[in-house]
Amino acid sequence: MRPPVPVASAPPGLDGPSGQHTLLRIPRHDVGERPFIVIWEATRACPLACLHCRAEAVTRRDPAELSTDEAIALMDSVANFGHPAPLFVITGGDPFARPDLVELVRAGTRAGLSVAVSPSGTPTLTQPNLAALHDAGARAVSLSLDGSSAGVHDAFRGVAGTFEATLRGWRAARDMGLRVQINTTVHRGNLTDLPAIVRLVHELTAMTWSAFFLVPTGRGRELDWLHPEEVEDVLNFVYDAGLHVPARTTEAHHFRRVVLQRQALEAEGVDPVRPLGLGPLYRQLRAALHEALPVQTRRARRPPMDVNAGRGFVFVSHTGQVHPSGFLPMSAGNVRERPLPDLYRSSELLTGLRDPRRLGGRCGRCEFAAVCGGSRSRAYALTGDPYAEEPWCSYQPGGAGAIRHR
């Protein structure tokens, strides 16, 4: 295991490796040598019309997609990172649009990978199809739930019936022994519904609930974005939700900073609203969560994993292009030309993103830079510079010291 990265001016109780190790999960291997997780976009074909879609998915498959043999070669190269191999997630579009999906899951399992699949809530999300994935060796599925009711969810996904299809698929996957991750895109249309979504995740059970914070790319450029102060309120709500469901975030790396701040305040018995400057949205969400789930239902929170775009995380597109994440469309090369381990370890783009000294603006001055780093994808989407400061973070460097010495 690589040693934890120290955080300068950390809040009380977090100075030194022991505090860091208990509050953040650290990949067991050097993220400069191997990623913790590899996401492969098997196809962009999907019949849904989701308002935020990064891939701007279309109904037909691209003839330039990786072939079956090329996909198997990709999975073999992921296994070549070493044992244990990175987690391997097959996403889309809708992966079920590929008729070879089960064959690919079986091949990845044979190669020694822990394979997960992220299907869409379409008519292909059936018990027999999920059973075929399970029989082929898939360990988990990742499903999207963007509302606690059909009205909210289906409006966001653009097709009626996706809410019920998702719930059916969720129950079927859970009952056959597949682990289920539920992803929720946080947007202005479902903000007040988030506590009810947490309650539903608690009732139906899931391995993880991940709150995805929009990156304005693809169709997501047209959505009404949250303000940084609202993001801060929601991140603190996600922290509270962690006492009821295994909660994490996607493309909100400053959640790790929130975890450290909240743990420091809790150690002193201090309510977070005033010292963290939380607003009415947080207070509304916290009250609604307490109403929905009045009794703490988890004994411990799930610590967030210390990874970021290109640093423990890498994305391979349907045509083989390697990106730091699916939301950061800068290319580090193509797996049709060079094996993924070579690209991950030597690409100037990926090695650069692993160096916190290259971060600009507030991120470059922030005492949490080494364990946060902000969303490189959102920085690129809004500024054209992947090293720019996180646009949706309201934190001012030095704030942790103000909490410690107030």
For 294-348, the pLDDT digits (tens) are: 998 888 888 999 999 999 999 999 999 999 999 999 999 999 999 999 999 999 9
Q: What's the sign of the alpha-carbon dihedral 319, 325, 331, 335?
A: negative
265: number of Cβ within 10 Å = 17
Mean predicted confidence (pLDDT) in 229-234? 97
| pLDDT tens profile 345-370 | 999 999 999 999 999 999 999 999 98
Q: For 78, phi and psi rounded to 5 degrees?
A: -65, -40
Q: What is the pLDDT of residue 222?
A: 59
**More confident call, 1 vs 285:** 285
Q: Please tell me the predicted confidence (pLDDT) of residue 70.
A: 98
Q: What 3-state class would DSSP assign to 238?
A: helix
Question: Hey, what are 151's tokens?
Answer: 């009205």
Q: Looking at this protein, which amino acid is placed at residue 364?
A: G
Q: Distance (Å, rounded) from C-alpha 387 to C-alpha 358?
A: 6
Quick one: pLDDT at residue 48?
61
Structure tokens of 264? 């420091």
DSSP 121-165: SSTT--HHHHHHHHHHT--EEEEE---SSHHHHHHHHTSTTHHHH
Q: What is the phi/psi pair of residue 217, to 5°?
A: -135, 160
Q: Sign of the CA dihedral 55, 61, 67, 71?
A: positive
Taking the CB of residue 296, how many other CB atoms lie within 10 A of it? 8
pLDDT digits (tens, 9 = 90+) for 150-166: 999 988 877 888 999 99
pLDDT digits (tens, 9 = 90+) for 73-96: 999 999 999 999 999 999 988 999
Question: Rounded to whole angstroms, what are the CA distances from 152 to 166, 168, 171, 349, 388?
Answer: 13, 17, 20, 38, 34
* Residue 181 one-letter amino acid: Q
Residue 84 DSSP SS3: coil
| Residue 123: per-residue pLDDT | 87
Which pTM does this prediction carry? 0.90
Which residue from 325, 317, 311, 324 is spatially nearest to 354, judged by alpha carbons?
311
Q: What is the pLDDT of residues 181-221, one digit of tens each?
A: 999 999 888 999 999 999 999 999 999 999 999 888 655 55
Per-residue pLDDT, averaged over 22-50, amounts to 87
Find residue 115's DSSP bridge partners. 88
Please tell me the predicted confidence (pLDDT) of residue 39: 98
CA-to-CA dists, residue 268 to 197, 203, 247, 377, angstroms: 30, 32, 23, 35
pLDDT of residue 316: 98
- Helix boundaries (H) for 80-125: 101-110
How far, in whole angstroms, is CA 174 from its chain's centroid? 20
Per-residue pLDDT band for 385 (boundaries 50, 70, 90) equals: very high
Q: What homologous superfamily is domain 31-225 in, according to CATH?
A: Aldolase class I (3.20.20.70)
Ordered by start, the domain boundaries in the chain are 31-225
CA–CA gap between residue 268 and residue 403 (Å, rounded): 11
Confidence grade of residue 51 (pLDDT, cut at 50, 70, 90): low
**CA dihedral defined by 87, 135, 157, 220, rounded to 10 degrees?**
20
